[in-house]
């Protein structure tokens, strides 16, 4: 699931969320990358990064935002693996 394109989208979202509380993905090339993924893959992508994702306008826009609960779940899972 990790491709160079998805990595670039991840970097863009992370950078935006470092400055603002939410990130809207609306650019056609970024949308094309996300639209290739299933809903489960999108949710997993967001979860792995400590984000929440909301699909807007029938998949023509995705909203990502930082989620403390997701980050805590990730940390707990990492500790359980140790």
72 pLDDT more than 70: no
**Per-residue confidence band for 12, with pLDDT thresholds at 50, 70 and 90:** very high
78 pLDDT more than 90: no
76 pLDDT more than 80: no
Q: What is the pTM of this model?
A: 0.79
13 pLDDT more than 50: yes
> How far is the C-alpha of 63 from the C-alpha of 5, rounded, in Å?
18
> How far is the C-alpha of 55 from the C-alpha of 61, rounded, in Å?
6
State residue 1's pLDDT score: 45
């Amino acid at each position: 699931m990790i491709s160079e394109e998805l990595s670039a989208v991840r970097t863009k979202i992370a950078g935006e969320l470092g400055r603002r509380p939410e990130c809207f993905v609306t650019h056609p090339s970024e949308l094309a990358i996300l639209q290739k993924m299933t809903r489960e893959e999108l949710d997993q992508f967001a979860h792995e990064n400590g984000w929440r994702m909301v699909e807007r306008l029938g998949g023509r826009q995705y909203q990502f935002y930082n989620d403390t609960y997701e980050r805590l779940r990730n940390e707990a899972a990492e500790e359980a693996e140790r």
